[in-house]
Structure 1
Amino acid sequence: MKQKKQLFEVGANESIGDCLLRMDQAGYQPVRRMEKPVFKKEGKQEPEWIKQQIVFEGKLKDSESEKA
């Protein structure tokens, strides 16, 4: 049985479109997009920004939730 909600992170070598396609193939539709910065800290230095992490929250499509 699938969860009603699931998080999908955009991979390092993956486009947003690829991630959305992967969600669709898994039976989920995007309901929320979240972005958060990723920092790297070495020793006592100030944290250094590395990248922006993109995560989609997906909910089970209606046709999938009716089967459950």
Structure 2
Amino acid sequence: MSKKTAWFEMEEHETPEQCIERMRKKGYMPVLRKEEPIFQRINGEITYFRQKVMFKGELMEDNNKK
């Protein structure tokens, strides 16, 4: 049995649409988007690296029952 909700991280060279399509292929529908900054330390100095984007998905089967 699959989990009712799952988080999907958008891959580095993936568009939001591609990530959502990947979710749908696994049977999930996006219900929430979350972003958080990723920092890295270069020569002792903390600098912005990239944005981490995640989508929360719910099983599509459960949405049809509501």
TM-score category, normalised to shorter length: 0.7 to 0.9
Structure 1: 4+ residue segments shifted above 4 A: 63-66
Matched to 1:53, the amino acid is K
TM-score using structure 1 length: 0.83
Spell out, residue by residue over 1:19-56, the C-alpha distance to the aligned partner (whole angstroms, 9 max, x if none).
Answer: 0000111100011100000000145x231100001000
Q: State the number of aligned residues.
A: 65
> Residues of 2 paired with 1:47 and 1:63: CA distance?
43
Q: Give the conservation status (yes or no) of the 8 Å contact 1:4–1:65.
A: no
- How high is the sequence identity, in percent, across the aligned residues? 32
Residue 11 of structure 1 corresponds to 11
- C-alpha change, 1:11 and 1:50, in structure 2 (3 Å) is same
Structure 2: where are the runs of 5+ without partners? none
RMSD of aligned Cα (Å): 2.0
Q: Quick check: 1:9–1:55 contact (8 Å CA) kept in 2?
A: yes
Describe the SS at the equivalent of 1:41: strand
* Conserved? CA contact 2:10–2:52, under 8 Å: yes
Paired amino acid for 2:48? W
